[in-house]
Structure 1
Amino acid sequence: MKKLLLIFVITLCCKINLQAQTPVAATATLKGLVVDSVSKKPQDYITAVLKKENIGIKTALTEPNGTFTMSKVAVGKYDLVIVAMGFKAKTIPIDVKENIVYDLGKLIISAQDNNLNEVNITAAKPVIKQEIDRISYDMQADPESKVSTVLDMMRKIPLLSVDADDKIQLKGSGNYKILINGKPSSLVARNPSDVFKSMPAANIEKIEVITTPPAKYDSEGLAGIINIITKKNIDAGYNGSINLRESFPTGGPGGSGSITVKQGKFGISAYGGLSIYKSPLTPTGYIRTTTGAVPTSLLQNGENKYDGKFSYGSAELSYEIDTLNLITGEFSLNRSKDNNFGEQNSSLMQGGIPAQGYRLINSGDQLWKGIDLSVNYQLGFHSHKDRLLTFSYKMSNSTENSFSNQDIQNRLNYDPTTFPNFNQYNQGKSMEQTIQADYVHPLTKKLNLEGGLKAILRDNSSDFEFNNQNSAGQYIVDPLRSNNYDNHQNVYGLYNSYQYNLTNWGFKAGVRAELTTINADFVSQATNLDKDFINIIPTVSVNRKFKDMSSLNFGYTQRIERPGIWQLNPFVDRSNPNFESTGNPDLKPVLSNSFEMNYSRFKKGSINLGLSYAFANNTVQNVSVYNEATKITRSYFVNTGKDKKLGANININYPFTSTLNLTLGGNMNYVWLQGIVNGVEVKNDGLRGYVYGYLSYKLEKGWRFGGNFSYNSAWISLQGKSRSNFYTGFSGSKDLIKDKLTLSGSVNNPFNKLRTWENTTTGDNFTQRSYGQNYWRRFSTSLSWKFGKLTDGVKKNQRGISNDDVKGGGGGKG
């Protein structure tokens, strides 16, 4: 990599030197006046794009008097495209033959047919779009995506935030669902943060934040849905890209690639990647003080490090039988292997006297494998091109093997007979099959009907083994701490929704009915748990469009949080002898009501403002209880209490010039939490949220620079809170070969080598604090190459399977 970068730097210097010696040719100037065809009035802040061979060369915005000017236009043939929200695009061929001023006169633009499904809120190629029930962020329109990871880019997306522990939150909540191309994926089932910090943003087309999911989506995800849409070149011929990158001192080397091929009726789009992520030794620890009959103080400090390898690949195939019949399929694989090592000194004081102590050496590894397979058949109708019937099948299978070994040394009053060395092994499996049928029928030009049926069949299992070391050094299975667990969950749903569009109004409403059956079997303990429940979920979205290029959206929906396998699993993690954590197979689903209102306005730049309110009862909380007899803090999940949240969000995008752009935004929520912990009522409330900003500057000859910051407030939980953090980053890129080869670099948090994190938890008779540091400063470089040429479209199913009914793994804290 170093040699390769050196070659390109030398090449770049030579190129700049040659360009400096080349005389600048004289150029022409274009000017014109943009006028509305109805009012005959000049139009301000209209975008004019000068294109050559369908590639944008220059961009200009009209002044308040409707005029625009483009200078330094070389001799040649161009297309001038006038684009604006609410107007039809207008294309004017231009042949520049002389180095003079070309006055194009009045350019008349007319209003387009109103379609309220989507409202653009930025300029010619918008970064952000406000739609009737979601916000989308165009990764390819943001130059920083060339060098950043998906996780880094999520810090800039409205309604999303990433805290210092790399946990993703939607509107300040961790209760959401992540989809890949509108479908669930084993790729992000376990820990999406680890996946996205290894995945280059250059492979992503856009990210949708669906805050009011329509009835066609499963009802899971209290805060909404994050839909990651991968980059697909949907033209015939072939096209592809290769990306190489390196990050240090955390992270490591990685590479990714994509290719699209279209020949006749057959098309294939594939992408994949491989990365290594390393985190050197960093300090960590716990402090716990207890009251009661025998007050104690516990101090633990040590170091941890982490190494991981991650690989993924996916291929999507399409075969167009004829103009009305289409078959598509998708196949994906992903694999990750993690190794971790930690050492820790523990000292328990009682009455100011050392009561217990030891040194713990902890090592372990995890191996995760996932496979997804889906097939879709789409039938069109001669009567209407938008009338569709789709049948879909999807299979997802994943396995996770985790092992940890605890070697306890330097014991003080820590009897090896009572507290022996031990290891833990857990094998988790998940198998999911989905059958689905969807029907779309435009009843009139203004009214559209959707309906469908769906069945999801899930089989989850966990085989957990706890082994104690005996006096001979052998590890023997402890049957009281080992268990086999099977969980079978089936969800049967049907939905019906309508969308009605008027001149300035858009309405979208529907209802979804779901029957859920659960059968849990604790094999080792010969016990069963059976549950059935029915939910009726309404959803409503309304859009009002105004003449000043603004719109107002209102949404209401109910959402369900069904506990995931890691929350239900009774496996007890005892990797730290003084702290235990476990799941709860008796957890019940949670129903939440959510209201939101958003205002968007496009003029010179854009602004998006939002208000939201949500409440839920019997919510799932992770609570901690201290046992005075065993001196152990035990954390577990339980249905308890109520959550209420009042929030506000803002996003502003303002282009100072055609080359300098500023983005500011944030989301703040005031939360009220209450619940019962160990028989005691607990309440907590406070402000949590984030703010962010991004400034980008584009120079001539392919240079781009950017800087960003974000601030995350303390995270408020039922029993405590975390520490706030501040994030900064700077990036730059250079097109070595225009639209083909790009060299990029970035630095994150250049002013802070390490970041200190802290979480505080308070219970009835204890207070504990976990703390540590991780590497905060990181340097990254990447080299991207695009190749090939495409000419025709690959046809894709417009409907498919999207299971979003189970809480996303590792998504956040809330």
Structure 2
Amino acid sequence: MRPSLLLILIFITNIVFAQGKITGKIVDATTNAPVDYATVGLFAQGSKQPVSGITSDDKGNFTLTNINNGEYHITVNFIGYKEYGADHVIISDDQKAVTLGTIKLIPASKQLNEVTVTAKAPVIENMIDKMVYNTANDLTSQGGVALDVLKKVPQVSVDIDGNVELQGNTSVRFLINGKPSTMFGSSLNDVLASLPASQIKSIEVITSPGAKYDAQGLGGIINIILKNDKLRGISGSVTASAGTRLQNGSETVSVRRNNFGVSAFLSGNAQINTRTMNLNDRTSTDASGRSTRLIQNGYSDVRRKSYNSGINVDWSPSKANSFTASLTVDQFGNRNQGMTAQQQTATGLADVLSQRTSLSDLSNHNIDWSLDHKHKFKREGQELEILYTYSQGKNNSSYDQQQIYNGQLLPFSASASTNPGTNHETNISADYTQPIAKDVLLETGAKTILQNINSVTNVNSYDAKTGAYSYDPGQSYKLKYDRKIYAGYVSLGASPFKQIDVKAGLRIEHTNTHIGFPGTTIPSYTTAVPTAVISHKFSDVSSLKVSYTKRIERAEYRELNPFVNLSDPYNIITGNPLLRPEIGNVFELGYNRSFRSSGSLYIALFSRHNSNDVKTYTNFYSQYRVGDSVYRNVSVTNRQNIGTEQNTGLNISGSVYLSKKLNIRTNTSIIDKYIVNKVYGGPSVNALIVRGNMNVSYQFTNDLIGEAFANYNSPMKNIQGRTPKFVTYNLAFRKQLMNKMASIGFTTTNPFAKYVDQLTTIDHAATSNGAPYTSYSLRRVPYRSFGISFAYRFGKLDAKASKIEEPQVKPIEN
């Protein structure tokens, strides 16, 4: 409990410090449209070293907080605009709060053939409700994919298979540009392994979402923001990378004139064929006491490819109204082909030697489109937003497998299956914001989510007697799944005392589900989701927050789909349409400290309790029936509601500048996980998990920078055995060219080791039928890679200067 005591001491010793705040709103002087992500700098008057800084939000608003008494100079910068400056801004005991009003940025008055980026956001921004990771200077992820970026994000960890955890929980709600997409429900790992890092502008992490957010996502929300230039005129970028494992390419273009803008992007990604070596040694005992041992030794070749494209249109016909429309098209897939030598030994029987060949395919085609309308009333802060989004996914998975006894020409067992499906989701929401008093803000809204899933499984089984395949009605089936969610919320934010902000809300969600699958019904249910956060700002460099939220995790398409994957008939994988939603209660205590220009530190203590906890579980069966076919000595893996889980942990993330050229960032989590298995009578599990990484960058010259990144995931005990540790490291360099409009980079991952070995053991695991088994599995995953990348940014501005009224500095009445 020492970290908690430390935070309390910090609270007591800092509470007497004087502090103030400076607020403002940044708009385009010509169109009055908000300018988001503009850089605001705070300097002591006469100093060239910044005291603090922040970027404006999507409405152009900003608040500089925790400011000591003194005289300051304010700067505002954004690409394509003249710099704004305000001198002699005073914070004193008599004037703790200053507003700069509406700051109208004047467009550059001359045409530019090239755009040079001079202002940039910090790599990590810690806000009251979220943490933002800006990817612009992430060198070791250049030429990589979204998974490579996520490894750097505070409080996030990624294992070797691309499974993402947020504060130790894998049930994370993923959004793209703040909107849901059906592509995440099909195969999350494949989506994140297919999205080029060059397309990502930033990643937002929300561990304690407020009442306005959907309750879905037990661990919290990760919002991936794609690049979308707000530069006036014509601008864009082109990136390309090639390597021994990955190849990426992307381009963006943006055209903006007056109050109308259009931006588009196109990207592609391919993972070159990689071979993973597999060894599995499993011993099981049936009810009669007979022991069977199965040894499988082989390989699997995996290829992956994708493309992403989209267009975004925004229009502000007046100061009060703005419209945004977007359309994206995504397609991704993978192909897994392998061969395995098999040896099966049973008590009192001769060894059976065979070979198995398998082929699995997965493809997904997804279309998302949305329309957003924002209306601002005359009263400052009063706003209505209506959002409509529609997402359509077409999924298809298939397999083909054959088993042949050694020395034979024809298979003794074989099957092939196709599983086409569709996933449609419609979201309609209305959100209203109303200031009801000084420093009191009311938010309310309603939302409807309509989801429809259809899946068909067609199985063809091989008849060894006739040597032919035929349709198997016993293993073939259809699934129809309809889910409707109706939600409403109310939230109230206030500042009842100086330097203390409070925000509390309640969200109600009613879920109605109908499933067309034999013998399956799902009752409707209503969930109340309270949220609360209290924050205290000690000074211009430190703050503390305490938050609570309730979350829910509803199963996605990939977990519900009962498709039986028999590509390995000894190790069957399937879905579970009977999964019940998980419920989580999350408490978090966070302390943020800025060391001005030398770095920052964030410490979070969190506790998370889950009921109806869902885990991937493997059962062993001496005989397992699928339709009219019986499979012997097989393991069956799916997701199941196990019981409860309690996670208590500490996360420390921060950065420090040891010199003007040397920067170090780190992110470390220590989590105590306690799982109670209430289904199969297995023992409760208590495990300590350590996740950590370190990033070191060095600016050799004005246009040459190098970076090193190392990541460590500790081994972990779980409800069935023990999963292995995971260690990777990356090195990268980037050289800027053409007056910093272009760059060339080099990246390597694990250059001194071709494979990362993953050893998983299961010792006397309890199963549903009471037949324990032991298992030893070794995977040798190829992870070494080398790559080069090239990026070029272009822009041509066509902006006209206009007469602008200079904003006035107005004190806020206390």
The answer to whether the superposition gives a TM-score over 0.5 is yes
601-610 or 616-625, larger mean C-alpha shift:
616-625
* Residue of structure 2 equivalent to 1:27: none
Q: Deviations over 1:520-552 (max 9, x none)?
A: 002xx4x55242100000011111111261111
Distance 1:61-1:444 versus aligned 2 partners, 3 A rule: closer
Is the partner of 2:489 in helix, strand or coil? strand
Is the partner of 1:322 in helix, strand or coil? coil
Cα deviation for residue 164 of structure 1 reads 1.8
Percent sequence identity over matched residues? Answer: 28
Q: Deviations over 1:700-725 (max 9, x none)?
A: 23101011111001244321221101
Is the partner of 1:452 in helix, strand or coil? strand
2:445 corresponds to which letter in structure 1? Answer: G
Q: Does the 8 A contact of 2:399 with 2:566 survive in 1?
A: no
* Residue of structure 1 equivalent to 2:442: 449
Distance 1:791-1:649 versus aligned 2 partners, 3 A rule: farther
* Residue of structure 1 equivalent to 2:572: 580
Q: Deviations over 1:268-294 (max 9, x none)?
A: 122220121123223112111123501
* Residue of structure 2 equivalent to 1:497: 491
* Residue of structure 1 equivalent to 2:655: 653
Cα deviation for residue 353 of structure 1 reads 5.4
Q: Deviations over 1:424-443 (max 9, x none)?
A: 11112101112111111122
Q: Does the 8 A contact of 1:556 with 1:596 survive in 2?
A: yes
Is the partner of 1:235 in helix, strand or coil? coil
Q: Does the 8 A contact of 1:357 with 1:413 survive in 2?
A: no
* Residue of structure 1 equivalent to 2:474: 480
Q: Does the 8 A contact of 2:186 with 2:556 survive in 1?
A: no
* Residue of structure 2 equivalent to 1:759: 760
Q: Deviations over 1:378-437 (max 9, x none)?
A: 2211222x2111222111100111221102112599996xx6211111112101112111
Cα deviation for residue 588 of structure 1 reads 1.3
1:285 corresponds to which letter in structure 2? Answer: L
CA distance in 2, matches of 1:346, 1:369: 36
1:567 corresponds to which letter in structure 2? Answer: E
Pick from 757, 760, 778 the counterpart of residue 771 of structure 1.
778
* Residue of structure 2 equivalent to 1:15: none
1:576 corresponds to which letter in structure 2? Answer: D
Is the partner of 2:191 in helix, strand or coil? helix
1:215 corresponds to which letter in structure 2? Answer: A
Q: Which structure 2 residues correspond to residues 318-329 of structure 1 after superposition, within 5 A?
A: 318-329=314-325
CA distance in 1, matches of 2:303, 2:194: 12
Q: Which structure 2 residues correspond to residues 35-434 of structure 1 after superposition, within 5 A?
A: 86=67, 90=73, 110=91, 113=97, 125-144=121-140, 146-248=142-244, 250-251=245-246, 253-292=247-286, 293-351=289-347, 354-384=350-380, 386-410=381-405, 420-434=413-427
Q: Which structure 2 residues correspond to residues 507-586 of structure 1 after superposition, within 5 A?
A: 507-522=502-517, 525=518, 527=519, 529-547=521-539, 549-586=541-578
Q: Deviations over 1:598-621 (max 9, x none)?
A: 111111311111111111222122
* Residue of structure 2 equivalent to 1:805: none
CA distance in 1, matches of 2:410, 2:18: 91
CA distance in 1, matches of 2:172, 2:49: 47
Q: Does the 8 A contact of 1:519 with 1:528 survive in 2?
A: no
CA distance in 2, matches of 1:440, 1:110: 29
* Residue of structure 2 equivalent to 1:797: none
CA distance in 2, matches of 1:343, 1:40: 70
753-762 or 606-615, larger mean C-alpha shift:
753-762
CA distance in 1, matches of 2:534, 2:273: 47
Cα deviation for residue 586 of structure 1 reads 1.8
1:402 corresponds to which letter in structure 2? Answer: S
CA distance in 1, matches of 2:791, 2:406: 54
Cα deviation for residue 790 of structure 1 reads 4.6
Indicate the RMSD between aligned Cα atoms, in angstroms.
Answer: 3.0
* Residue of structure 2 equivalent to 1:680: 681
Pick from 581, 587, 592 the counterpart of residue 595 of structure 1.
587
Is the partner of 1:188 in helix, strand or coil? helix
Distance 1:108-1:265 versus aligned 2 partners, 3 A rule: closer
User: Are 1:458 and 2:454 an aligned pair?
Assistant: no
CA distance in 1, matches of 2:292, 2:408: 15
Distance 1:551-1:731 versus aligned 2 partners, 3 A rule: same
Is the partner of 2:684 in helix, strand or coil? strand
Distance 1:84-1:380 versus aligned 2 partners, 3 A rule: closer
Q: Does the 8 A contact of 2:42 with 2:72 survive in 1?
A: no
Q: Which structure 2 residues correspond to residues 718-733 of structure 1 after superposition, within 5 A?
A: 718-733=719-734
Pick from 407, 413, 429 the counterpart of residue 436 of structure 1.
429
CA distance in 1, matches of 2:759, 2:304: 24
CA distance in 1, matches of 2:98, 2:554: 39
Q: Does the 8 A contact of 2:761 with 2:777 survive in 1?
A: yes
Q: Does the 8 A contact of 1:682 with 1:719 survive in 2?
A: no
User: Are 1:746 and 2:747 an aligned pair?
Assistant: yes
1:533 corresponds to which letter in structure 2? Answer: Y
Distance 1:784-1:187 versus aligned 2 partners, 3 A rule: farther
Cα deviation for residue 114 of structure 1 reads 8.0
Q: Does the 8 A contact of 2:491 with 2:504 survive in 1?
A: yes
Q: Does the 8 A contact of 2:705 with 2:734 survive in 1?
A: yes
194-203 or 303-312, larger mean C-alpha shift:
194-203
* Residue of structure 1 equivalent to 2:788: 781
Distance 1:625-1:347 versus aligned 2 partners, 3 A rule: same
CA distance in 1, matches of 2:579, 2:98: 47
Is the partner of 1:140 in helix, strand or coil? coil
Q: Does the 8 A contact of 2:750 with 2:785 survive in 1?
A: yes
- The alignment of Structure 1 onto Structure 2 pairs a total of residues equal to 697
TM-score by length of 1: 0.81
Distance 1:110-1:453 versus aligned 2 partners, 3 A rule: same
CA distance in 1, matches of 2:189, 2:739: 33
* Residue of structure 1 equivalent to 2:11: none
CA distance in 2, matches of 1:68, 1:395: 49
CA distance in 2, matches of 1:686, 1:387: 49
CA distance in 1, matches of 2:133, 2:700: 23
* Residue of structure 2 equivalent to 1:607: 601
* Residue of structure 2 equivalent to 1:74: none
Cα deviation for residue 682 of structure 1 reads 3.1
CA distance in 2, matches of 1:560, 1:92: 43
Q: Deviations over 1:287-335 (max 9, x none)?
A: 1112350112111010111112200011111122211122211101001
CA distance in 1, matches of 2:661, 2:225: 27
Cα deviation for residue 354 of structure 1 reads 4.0
Cα deviation for residue 577 of structure 1 reads 1.1
* Residue of structure 2 equivalent to 1:73: none
1:296 corresponds to which letter in structure 2? Answer: T
650-659 or 754-763, larger mean C-alpha shift:
754-763
301-310 or 632-641, larger mean C-alpha shift:
632-641
Q: Does the 8 A contact of 2:543 with 2:591 survive in 1?
A: yes
CA distance in 2, matches of 1:432, 1:473: 43
Cα deviation for residue 195 of structure 1 reads 3.2
TM-score by length of 2: 0.81
Cα deviation for residue 508 of structure 1 reads 1.5
Is the partner of 2:186 in helix, strand or coil? coil
Cα deviation for residue 141 of structure 1 reads 4.7
2:457 corresponds to which letter in structure 1? Answer: F
* Residue of structure 2 equivalent to 1:36: none
Structure 2: runs of 5 or more not aligned:
1-16, 20-37, 51-63, 77-86, 100-118, 624-631, 767-771, 801-814
